[in-house]
Amino acid sequence: MARPEPIRFRRSTLGEDVYETLKGLVLEHSLSPGDRINIDALAREFAVSPTPVREALARLEADGLVRKRPLVGYTVSPLLTRAEFEAMFEMRLLLECASTRWAAERADTARREAISGEAATTVASEEDDPDGWHAAFTVLDARFHDLIAEASGNELLRDGINRLHAHLHLHRRYFPYAQASATTEEHRRIAAAILAADPDAAEAAMRDHLSSARERHLAAFD
Amino acid sequence: MARPEPIRFRRSTLGEDVYETLKGLVLEHSLSPGDRINIDALAREFAVSPTPVREALARLEADGLVRKRPLVGYTVSPLLTRAEFEAMFEMRLLLECASTRWAAERADTARREAISGEAATTVASEEDDPDGWHAAFTVLDARFHDLIAEASGNELLRDGINRLHAHLHLHRRYFPYAQASATTEEHRRIAAAILAADPDAAEAAMRDHLSSARERHLAAFD
DNA sequence: CCATGAAACATCCTATAGGATCCACGATAT
DNA sequence: ATATCGTGGATCCTATAGGATGTTTCATGG
């Protein structure tokens, strides 16, 4: 807990900036799951008053990233249990498959090509910074799935997927896995099916991808 | 805009109570879609300070019930457009069908019977209070779907469904429809299939139910 | 040695006040 | 008449301070 950066920001409102910053701290594990969050301490650290911090925490709670016990305080949400993780992947399977199918059915040409382009992109292999590499890969993965969700044309679906992605990201940071090559190949297959406007193939490819990803991640629970 | 109730509540924290109260006001249309929300005025009305009101609004924004423009103010979220409404029902179809299938597959006996019981319940037909009757029917419907979602054993799924229900409710209040008898019958079929542990039949029944409901609601857009 | 109760502490929660920003209105120039 | 600019008012946003609550510690009795 040593981040004595005053952090001078002012994009629009302090509450907004504190929210984004805090979200980043949680997602990159500068704040660990289970940690208690001292509002006054955070306020001092950010050189702001507790008021915008409270507002940011209220929003983070709605995202499920922090938990609140009234008159006691906030804590960073604990890591998913195995059961919760399985439930999360059930939900992902549901949402992502639909997202992919609809993208294959409805997306305009520009979006289809954008998805293919994203799938073709690979992370520069900086061997000297495995941690940074993993982060870059995660960003790439999130963007790929979000592009598909956007192409599905259903913003509620997109929101739901992104909401899950935050928790997936959280889990990944704790149990990084290195099988990125398989993931990239699976992404290419999905993108190809979407480009070909083949909903069945696209959904099947996404289903395979998520099933494989699920297996890869489940190893962390052993 | 005349609700001079001081509102003395103290369940746990003021922020929590204000959140629940405001949510109720929006859902029952005491605050109409598009209305500007004056933080100070609300605080005076509730006899609290603006601070907990802000916190409640931050949470409501995450629920999608209010919209925020930084440095300008909050407004009640506008009613769903036809396209958004269709997207919402697409999402509902996805989530509720899975919810029903899993409930039929996994639920324990007690929950199956609870669902059947809820489906068998009918709203007392108070002819003198059609508005109250409609509200009661809405509550019944929400509880039925939530019971199934709970029985599905996936809390994330349940959250997602309830999130959608808030918007459905909002739309319903503006365009009340009276075909409750059909709804009740459809509920019974779903409950029967779940009780019989027949996932395919349960999912199909839910699909029919939602398709019918979609048709009933879509009339409001003509 | 363990259980119970009370007091001190830390922290959260709320109210109030002032600075900052946006919007609306009106005046002036073209 | 229209467009542009400046001013006033309303409202939001943030900081500070004090009351309220939960937690912990420590002493006391069994």
Distance B35 CA to C17 C1' (A): 28
Q: Which of residues 30-89 of A touch strand D (CB under 7 A)?
A: 43, 47-52, 55, 69, 71-72
Q: What is the per-residue pLDDT for B130?
A: 67
Q: H or E element: which one contains B153?
A: none
pLDDT average per 10 residues of sequence, chain A (222 residues): 44 90 93 95 95 97 96 95 96 98 97 96 72 82 97 97 93 75 92 98 98 90 80
Q: What is the per-residue pLDDT for A127?
A: 63
Distances (CA, A) of B180 to A199, B89, B137, B142: 36, 19, 8, 13
Number of residues that make up chain A: 222
Q: What is the per-residue pLDDT for B125?
A: 66
Q: Give residue-wise pLDDT tens across range B157-214.
A: 999 999 999 999 988 888 776 667 788 999 999 999 999 999 999 999 999 999 999 9
Contact B70, B105 (CB under 8 A): no
Contact B158, B149 (CB under 8 A): yes
Beta strands in chain B (DSSP E): 36-37, 66-69, 73-76
Alpha-carbon gap, residue A86 to A92, rounded angstroms:
10
Alpha-carbon gap, residue A169 to A197, rounded angstroms:
29
Query: Among partner residues B61, B62, B94, which is closest to A94 by beta-carbon distance?
Result: B94
User: To the nearest whole number, what is the mean pLDDT of chain B?
Assistant: 90
Query: Among partner residues A15, A84, A154, which is closest to B90 by beta-carbon distance?
Result: A154
CATH class of A14-76: mainly alpha
Q: What is the per-residue pLDDT for B178?
A: 61
Distance from CA of A158 to the nearest CA of B (A): 10
Average pLDDT over residues B86-104: 98
Alpha-carbon gap, residue B208 to B187, rounded angstroms:
10
Q: What is the per-residue pLDDT for A172?
A: 85
pLDDT confidence band for B154 (50 / 70 / 90): very high
CATH class of B82-221: mainly alpha
Average pLDDT over residues B72-86: 95
Between chains, do B71 and A13 touch, taking CB under 8 Å as contact?
Answer: yes
Q: What is the per-residue pLDDT for A6?
A: 40
Q: What is the per-residue pLDDT for B155?
A: 96
List B residues 172-191 in contact with A (Cβ-Cβ < 8 A).
Answer: none
Domain ranges of chain A: 14-76, 82-221
Average pLDDT over residues B37-66: 96
- Exposed e or buried b per residue across A139-167, where buried means at least 16 C-beta atoms within 10 angstroms of its C-beta: ebbbebbbbbbbbbbbebbbbbbebbbbb
Q: Residue B23's closest CA among B52, B75, B63, B51? A: B63
Alpha-carbon gap, residue B214 to B190, rounded angstroms:
17
Distance B62 CA to C5 C1' (A): 44
pLDDT higher than threshold 70 for residue B10: no
